[in-house]
């Protein structure tokens, strides 16, 4: 301690038991001990009981043959004769992520559109959006999924008279079929083109910002970027001699096989999830926009900004600060709700791993624990990402 008349911190040291810091360390230590003890007791007791009831335990089932088919596996070839329960887990995870990501992107786009239109001065537009939101928000999701799957997609034409678009795309009760792009030698050129395009866009964006700061002139960054994104990879493809071929679906005795296919189970799930969630997002967006004080737009108009620009440059950036936190929980909901796929023959982790694998291998505890760990990880990752984004757009105090 410092010398002199400064009396702070020179109070006599409290006795060991009276020191709040030490005491709290001791209490926390006791809580940890009790927790660890209980956990050990449960694990031990569970293992005992499982053994006594003759139920297998451990993780070795992950490398045991699964022996069943999983309906949908777009990212890796799943062969029922070689697949293990571990393969089923991976397919389940990939399928869940696919559903979650497509669902989140769609729900966000649709939700933003309806949220903004809901505030439209046009009475009909705003009323339509109101009904869209109210109807979707107030019907249980499971019911909506069943509706999309059985009532809508279930009435698609039979395989004999499928709807065809330019003889390239076909739609029938088994799904939507289209040509599957198969990369050939030299496909990397296109990837390279894409990388160059992105690099160019970043450069242009920085240059445009600087120029605007200096001269006040606005450069059409968006359209230039879009053009670059299409033209450069296209030139690369042309140089490489268009290294892409298409596998078209073929007719067999039962229907169309091969090519690219979107299964009705997947379509119904993504459609149901994203429409349902979009209604909530629309409300979040609306409240976010309303939270931005009216004076802000008035000030923007006074500066001569058009309504579209005012929305984009003044209102939305401020609204985002209100929108992002509740948006995160909608994303989490959507991801977790994807487990309702079991009702409509979907093939995500709960259906095939926590469902079929659990039943065939019988190891409920391990399988449920793995599934929960997966959901926890995904939820944490989404939250982390959204927190990062939220900080990025937060008000910068000067």
Partner 1 sequence: MKSILFATAAATIAFVGSAQAGLLEDVKAKGFIQCGVNTGLTGFSAPNDKGKWEGFDVDFCRAMSAAVFGDADKVKYTPLTSKERFTALQSGEIDVLSRNTTWTFTRDVNLGLEFIGSNYYDGQGFMVRKDLGVKSARELDGASVCIQTGTTTELNLADYFRTHKMEFNSVVFEKADEIRAAYDAGRCDVYTTDRSGLAAQRSLLKAPEDHLVLPEVVSKEPLGPVVRHGQSEWGDVARWTLYTLIVAEELGITSANVDSMKSSKNPEVLRLLGIEGEMGKQLGVSADWAYNIVKQVGNYSEVYERHVGVNTPLKLERGINALWTQGGLMYAPPFR
Which residues of this chain interact with partner 1, rule CB under 8 A? 42, 45-46, 48-50, 52-56, 67-71, 80-81, 150, 154-155, 158-159, 173-174, 252-255, 257, 264-265, 342-345, 347, 350-352, 354-356, 358-362, 364-365, 368
Q: Which phi and psi (to 5°) does residue 22 adopt?
A: -65, -40
**Smallest gap, in angstroms, from Cβ of residue 46 to partner 1?**
5
Report yes or no: 274 and 148 within 8 Å, Cβ to Cβ: no
Which residue, 157 or 325, has its beta carbon nearer to partner 1? 157
C-alpha–C-alpha distance, residues 350 and 336, integer Å: 10
* Backbone CA torsion sign across 113, 114, 118, 121: positive
- CA angle, residues 144, 149, 153, in degrees to nearest 5: 125
**Smallest gap, in angstroms, from Cβ of residue 36 to partner 1?**
16
Integer-rounded Cα radius of gyration of the chain: 28
**Smallest gap, in angstroms, from Cβ of residue 362 to partner 1?**
4
C-alpha–C-alpha distance, residues 285 and 118, integer Å: 10
* Backbone CA torsion sign across 144, 150, 151, 154: positive
C-alpha–C-alpha distance, residues 162 and 286, integer Å: 41
Which residue, 53 or 398, has its beta carbon nearer to partner 1? 53
**Smallest gap, in angstroms, from Cβ of residue 43 to partner 1?**
8
Which residue, 10 or 155, has its beta carbon nearer to partner 1? 155
**Smallest gap, in angstroms, from Cβ of residue 19 to partner 1?**
39
Within 13 Å, how many C-alpha atoms sit on residue 343's CB side? 17
Which residue, 189 or 358, has its beta carbon nearer to partner 1? 358
Which residue, 23 or 257, has its beta carbon nearer to partner 1? 257
CA nearest neighbour of 342 among 359, 366, 362, 329? 359
Which residue, 250 or 377, has its beta carbon nearer to partner 1? 250
**Smallest gap, in angstroms, from Cβ of residue 255 to partner 1?**
7
């Amino acid at each position: 301690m410092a010398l002199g008349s400064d009396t702070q911190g020179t109070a006599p040291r409290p006795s060991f038991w009276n020191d709040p810091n030490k005491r709290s360390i001791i209490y926390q230590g006791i809580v940890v001990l009790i927790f660890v003890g209980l956990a050990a007791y449960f694990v031990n007791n569970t293992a005992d009981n499982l053994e006594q009831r003759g139920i297998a335990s451990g993780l070795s089932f992950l490398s045991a043959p699964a022996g069943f088919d999983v309906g949908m596996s777009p990212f890796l070839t799943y062969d029922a004769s070689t697949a293990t329960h571990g393969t089923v887990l991976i397919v389940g995870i990939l399928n869940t992520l696919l559903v979650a990501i497509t669902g989140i992107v769609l729900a966000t786009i649709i939700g933003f559109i309806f949220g903004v239109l809901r505030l439209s001065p046009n009475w009909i537009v705003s009323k339509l959006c109101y009904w869209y939101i109210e109807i979707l928000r107030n019907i249980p999701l499971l019911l909506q999924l069943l509706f999309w799957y059985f009532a809508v997609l279930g009435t698609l034409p039979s395989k004999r008279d499928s709807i065809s678009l330019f003889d390239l795309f076909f739609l029938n009760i088994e799904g939507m079929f289209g040509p599957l792009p198969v990369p050939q030698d030299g496909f990397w050129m296109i990837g390279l083109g894409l990388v160059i395009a992105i690099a160019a866009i970043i450069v242009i964006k920085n240059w445009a910002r600087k120029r605007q700061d200096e001269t006040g002139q606005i450069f059409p960054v968006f359209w230039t970027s879009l053009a670059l994104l299409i033209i450069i990879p296209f030139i690369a493809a042309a140089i490489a001699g268009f290294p892409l071929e298409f596998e078209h679906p073929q007719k067999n005795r039962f229907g169309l096989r091969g090519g690219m296919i979107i299964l009705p189970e997947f379509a119904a799930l993504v459609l149901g999830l994203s429409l349902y969630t979009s209604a909530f997002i629309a409300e979040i967006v609306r409240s976010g926009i309303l939270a931005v004080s009216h004076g802000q737009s008035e000030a923007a108009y006074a500066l001569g900004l058009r309504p579209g620009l005012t929305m984009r440059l003044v209102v939305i950036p401020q609204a985002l600060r209100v929108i992002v936190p509740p948006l995160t929980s909608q994303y989490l909901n959507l991801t977790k709700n994807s487990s309702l796929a079991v009702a409509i023959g979907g093939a995500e982790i709960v259906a095939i791993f926590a469902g079929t694998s659990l039943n065939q291998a019988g190891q409920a505890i391990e399988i449920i624990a793995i599934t929960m760990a997966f959901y926890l990880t995904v939820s944490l990752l989404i939250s982390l990402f959204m927190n990062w984004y939220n900080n990025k757009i937060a008000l910068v105090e000067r």
